[in-house]
Structure 1
Amino acid sequence: MMPKAFRAMALLVISCDLVATVKVIVVGAGTSGLAAARTLIDTWDATANGGPLELTVLEAGTRIGGRVWTLNADEAGAAWTTAGALGAPTDMGASWIHGSNLSHPITKIATALGLAEGAGLVRTRNSLAELQLCSGQTSSCPSVSDDKYTVYQSLIAQAQRDAEAANSDKSLWEALSGLSELDQSRSSDLFQFHLASSAEFNTAGPASELSALFYNDDSKYKGSELVWAQGYKTMYEALQSGAVRVTDGSSPLQVTAVEAGSRNPISVTYNKRVRDVSYNSAEVVLTTEDNAVYRADYAIITVPLGVLKSSDASSQVTFSPALPPATANGIAQLGFGNVVKVALLFPSAWWPTGAHYYGLAQAGEPDRGLFTYYLNVHALSTKPVLMTFALGGAADVAEGMTNAEMWTKIRANLVKIMPSDVTVPTTAPEIIRSNWRANPLAKGAYTFVKVGTPNGKATITSAFGGSVGGRLFFAGEHTSALYRGTVHGAFQSGQEAARAVKASRPTQVAARAVKAEKRLDARLVPFL
């Protein structure tokens, strides 16, 4: 055989190898994992991306959605099903599309599904006019004017300015010490209500751990606060089923509806908790709790920050080699907080149903955040449901309570909140609740910037902004420098990881081709 002919045949073999299937594993089927998988499926180009896509999605649990979780009939129980109260009342993870507007990625999904405010999406408060708040010191609940919240905001801003001037980070709680305006200070009942329902709810962290400098250095969409009438499952089921098709988000995201017969669903393998992640310049090897081994060219790791931080045997993920210092430090430095949601189903709505929210202003830890904030779900769904929350340091306290203990505390607070002519039932309602801290697949609710973290956005970008070894990519709300702690942040991070995988592939294919041709030329030298 002539050398040129032999070389041509050998290069043909090499070219066939170079277009071999590209194996990508997504670890986790929460919002970011589904976003990554949906983006890869909908935008993968076998020619441009170095070969056909072979996608595997491994989910540690028995369902999709992660910390976005609408309880189904079996999970909620017969009483909730009989009452027709499934959907928004049984969202035990995220509830809101925060700042919904036409450019919001989650709103775009809803729009593609034919939903809008008043038609499948329901607006909650835009102002304190929809909050009925009292101190528990009187027999009625007078309206609270906006200037009290304005004073709260002013004191928070002053605490941050003082920390910046001192060029020294301290906890938000410490930074508020000694500050006062009008009749408000950090020890005031009303101030502490706003601290719990705003700063501690938004971040899932207690004020004693929040960085005064960076706890709110993230960005926000401006728009309405909307909940899904049928629950957030509407979104994550659409992503999984292929009911929507997405662009990769590199330019303004486009989401379109897909007819049932043309859908390309995401295949999810359940009960596959990844225990070990090994990686080198050539591949990623994942070992699950049941000792199954998966090999891939790339892996997108979307487990929650709480799991990455965990050393518990039921949660821990081990990386070999160890993650680089920037990633390891980011995982260690960022905080992972908790919020407990409790939904109460009554035989009928016994409370005044005009307001969207009810609040009890009281000071002290954990009292300020322990079932002092109530969402009137009846105003959103016509179902006789109240939802309350445990916020800040109260969240972990609440997780340790029984349902009976919860109801005792909740009822006592409702008696203080409601007008004297309203009788709060003594019989406990049907109760469903979240327990994210105790969940080994979550270990908490969402991410906050802890005191001592050297700049929230920069820490997140440094820790998760690129690949690890060209093979590992991270996604999840904790990896979103701009929108941590949100569903839209998680979604966008999944898209970013998918784009990064696609961008890596052609470069590596080209490098493999050059190396292979050089090796071939060296082997052909004796024939020339």
Structure 2
Amino acid sequence: MASGARAVRVVVIGAGTSGLAAARTLVDTWDSSKNGGPLELTVLEARNRIGGRTWTLVSEAPAAWNAADALGAPTDMGASWIHGSCPEHPITKIAKALGQTEGGGLVQTDDDSSEVVLCDTGKTPDDDKFDAYESMLEQAQEKAEDAETDKSIWQMLSGRSESGQTRDSALFQYHLATGAEFNTAGPASQLSAWSGFDDEEYEGSEVVWAKGYKTMYEALQSGAVKLNDGSNKVKVTAVAPGSRKPLAVQYGKRIREVAYDESGVKLTNADDGLVYQADYAIITIPLGVLKSSDPRSAVTFRPDLPRVTAEGIRALGFGNVVKVALLFPTVWWPEGTHYYGLAQAGEPDRGLFTYFLNVHALSDKPVLMTFALGSAADMAEKMSDAAVWEAIRTNLMTIFDSNDDVTVPEEMPHMIRSEWRADPHAKGAYTYCAVGTSKDTISAAFGSAVEGRLFFAGEHTSAAYRGTVHGAFQTGQQAARAVVANSRGAPAADSEEEEDD
């Protein structure tokens, strides 16, 4: 590299998981002698915080989050779990580098520690009824594979299980809501049957961060961890405080226009019209915002994005999940069980606050977490606090009706609710394959750079792990590697499947 070479300007739009992963990877692996010059990195974030849809409310939060003080403990109102925690899992690697392991920073949730009550009888169903749910899904998958056209998962769920269940059975619909609809954030009536059964996953336990996902995203921002060695692998090492390279994030910077050509990129800030010029831009804007025409959110691309990218944005689904954290003065429910559920049929009832996580089993706080899933999620966002508590209390009373030792309080507890659909910087929770779309839709839309200048990242760009934190993380790293490759005039590795030592 010649002395005085011009800096290579890279802008990362968004400081959620994928944006932080991209920025951290660039900082940790950039080699000025090979990449055409020193790195000039700008990270723009529309919010007043990092993390995106990984959002941990904590008692020391800024004034705008003071409602969380009453919880007295970190509470994840966005992503919560590391799904399939194992040595190969990229988020588990970050946790390990930070000294967080199961039993010491990571807490396992036990899906088998569950008590489900049938709404119409108030009784607990037989254990084999869950097997019936899985059996019916397998039947639906076989039908989907033989079908000439794609249909929704719901349309494929015809027939009857050996135990007599149909898709209209209350218990089946409970498992549908807490399984497929929770995992995808989409209603079963809109989920692609061709694509709804092909999600890839890591083999391991389901764990949550004892101190919330902020443990991860703050480490990425602060430089407490170092990512990679420049190869197509996830390598994470801890960094001593004196050697850290923190990311400088600019807050309140919402981009309203992205202009690009083969020579570079110009990004226009929505509030003051300030223009950022760059050689490359990594765009981690959520799919919901890319789809949005809301003037508080919308982004214009000049020229228009390639047809395959625009069509992918239009066709893919972007669903919603509502989380409600309930803090009570004391624990009034049985303490040992991890999950409580109410099985009832019909939309939106099957997904409207029928699933409860006993947070007290994972910490010392008297907290229950419940969810609105599938078609119930958008409806729940529009309900008043009083209406939400009435619906929750009614379901809790049914769940514990046969337990003479339990009395559900009448008074509404301290309550915090997520509102991702109403959030102009999210416009929903996460991505699903709608009818007519597939992994190929995602790969075609986001798998290649636009004009060699725009690189998309985020959970919606992960064909293998859409809707997950690790999918967002991996695509952020992938985009960073592609920028490095372009700066060197070399082809980038286009697989998001990570090799491991």
Q: Give me the whole-angstrom Cα distance separating, in 2, the residues matched to 1:397 and 1:66.
A: 23
Deviations, residues 232-263 of structure 1 (Å, cap 9, x unaligned)? 10000000000111105744321111111111
Whole-Å separation in 1 of the counterparts to 2:470 and 2:413: 33
Question: Which position in structure 1 is the counterpart of 2:434?
Answer: 450
Per mean C-alpha deviation after superposition, the further-off stretch among 160-169 and 257-266 is 160-169
Note the residue ranges of structure 1 that are not aligned, 5 or more in a row: 1-11, 510-528
5 Å-filtered alignment, 1:171-320, equals 171-247=152-228, 250-290=231-271, 291-320=273-302
Q: CA 1:80–1:497 in structure 2 vs 1: closer, same or farther (change >3 Å)? A: closer
Deviations 1:362-383 (Å, cap 9, x if unpaired)? Answer: 0010000000000000000121
1:520 matched to which residue of 2? Answer: none
Distance 1:157 1:76 in 2: 46
> Aligned partners of 2:234, 2:212: CA distance in 1, in Å?
23
How has the CA–CA distance of structure 1 residues 189 and 252 changed in structure 2, closer, same or farther, with 3 Å as cutoff? same
TM-score, scaled to structure 1: 0.89
Matched, 1:323 2:308: no
1:436 is matched with: 420
Q: CA deviation at 1:72?
A: 3.0
1:29 to 15, 28, 40: 15
Report the Cα distance in structure 2 between the residues aligned to 1:180 and 1:100, rounded to whole angstroms: 32
Q: Give, in whole Å, the separation in 2 of the partners of 1:29 and 1:428.
A: 35
1:199-227 deviation per Cα after TM superposition (whole angstroms, max 9, x unaligned): 00000000010011102322100101000
Structure 1 position 165 matched with structure 2 position 146: yes
Percent same amino acid among aligned pairs?
64
Aligned partner (choices 80, 92, 115) of residue 132 of structure 1: 115
Distance (whole Å) between structure 1 residues aligned to residue 327 and residue 154 of structure 2: 35
- Inter-partner Cα distance in structure 1 for 2:186 and 2:147: 23
Equivalent residue runs for 1:368-407 within 5 Å: 368-407=350-389
Q: Any idea what SS the aligned residue of 1:507 has? A: coil
Deviations along 1:467-509, one digit per CA (max 9) or x if unpaired, are 0000000000000011000000000000000000000011189
1:182 is displaced (CA, Å) by 2.0
2:55 to 69, 83, 95: 69
Asked if structure 1 preserves the Cα contact closer than 8 Å seen for 2:29 and 2:230, the reply is no
CA distances 1:315-346 after superposition (whole Å, capped 9, x unpaired): 11110111111111111111000000000000
What is residue 498 of structure 2 aligned with on the other side?
A: none
Name 2:407's counterpart in structure 1: 423
Q: 2:6 aligns with which of 12, 20, 26?
A: 20
Greater fraction helix: 1
- Bigger radius of gyration: 1
Partners of 2:45 and 2:249 within 8 A in 1: yes
Which of 28, 35, 44 is the matching residue for 1:42? 28
Matching residue's letter, 1:356: H
- 1:443–1:80 distance in 2 versus 1, CA, 3 Å: closer
Amino acid at match of 1:493: T
Given that 1:155 and 1:181 are in contact with CA atoms closer than 8 Å, whether structure 2 keeps it comes out as: no
Give secondary structure in 2 for the equivalent of 1:424: coil
Tell me, in whole angstroms, the C-alpha distance in 2 between the residues paired with 1:171 and 1:75.
Answer: 44
The aligned amino acid for 1:275 is R
Number of aligned residues: 486
Q: Work out which of the residue numbers 66, 69, 76 in structure 2 matches 1:81.
A: 69
Alignment of 1:456-467 (within 5 A): 456-467=438-449
The whole-number CA distance in structure 2 between the counterparts of 1:32 and 1:320 is: 24
Q: Which amino acid aligns with 1:318?
A: T
Separation in structure 1 between the aligned mates of residue 225 and residue 306 of structure 2, nearest angstrom: 36
Task: Give the CA deviation at 1:179.
Answer: 4.4
Counterparts of 2:108 and 2:356, CA distance in 1: 16
Look up the SS of the partner of 2:57 in the other structure. Answer: coil
Structure 2 unmatched runs, 5+: 492-501
